[in-house]
Amino acid sequence: MGINRLQQKAFSKYNRRLKLNTIAIIDYGMSNLSSVVKAVKHVAPNDNVIITSNSNEINNADKIIFPGQGAAKKCMESIYDKRLDSVIRKSSQEKPFLGICMGMQVLMDYSDENQGTNCLSIIEGKVEKFKTKSNIKIKIPHMGWNKIIKKSDHPIWYKIDSESYFYFVHSYFINPADKSSVIGETKYGDIFSSVIAKENIIAIQGHPEKSSYTGLQFLKNFIETKY
């Protein structure tokens, strides 16, 4: 027996309520994505998590995660080779967008890495290298666990204490022009900007996918926050 028009309308409304979010993890060939995928699927088991370099899939996704590792020049070359620069810029303006590690750095205008590399210019600022000083000796790269100090309230910090530990692996750090966008800082020799928030963009220098329960909460907050 078929369903009548009222039942069909109710069924369609029910389906829309249950619509799964599609979370697109951008693959531009410069990151081991297995730990990111595993962590996102753990905190969002009812959502559709995809790894993709397809512009249509990225455009149609509800939320974007943009990880990365390696050198800035190679990352930018790979982004352009895969013709992802336009869709990354578009997505960063239109939907919840999370940059991780190199996925944070290449959002800036320019990186000092590789004798200078032009980046995506999504967020005004530059990327600079850690420097040792005569009175402060640090190892480069900055590798291991370190604290992130909360600089302002933001939904991304839900259930995360200030000075919680995250895992880092990097030799360069961002220096954003708009300091009000900095919502987390970390001390490594000097203080550097480790988390920024600008409109629908969140970016973190650390690796939440490798940062135990705190990192999982960070990812969960990104996925569940309404922007």
Q: Is there a domain that residue 175 lies in?
A: yes
> pTM of the predicted model, to two decimals?
0.90
Q: Is there a domain that residue 118 lies in?
A: yes
C-alpha Rg value of the chain to the nearest Å: 19
pLDDT at 137: 84
Q: Is there a domain that residue 48 lies in?
A: yes
Contacts of 157 (CB under 8 A, 6+ apart): 150, 183, 221
Q: Is there a domain that residue 88 lies in?
A: yes
Give residue-wise pLDDT tens across range 167-187.
999 999 999 999 999 999 999
Residue 35's domain comprises 14-224
Q: Is there a domain that residue 117 lies in?
A: yes
Give residue-wise pLDDT tens across range 16-34.
444 689 999 999 998 789 9
More confident residue, 178 or 135: 178
Q: At 119, is the secondary structure helix, strand, or coil?
A: coil
pLDDT at 199: 95
182, 208 Cβ separation under 8 angstroms: no
Which residues are known catalytic residues? 101, 207, 209
- Give the pairing type, strands 63-66 and 22-26: parallel
CATH number at residue 60: 3.40.50.880
Give residue-wise pLDDT tens across range 81-100.
999 999 999 999 999 999 99
Q: Is there a domain that residue 3 lies in?
A: no
**For residue 140, what is the DSSP state?**
S
Name the domain count of the chain. Answer: 1
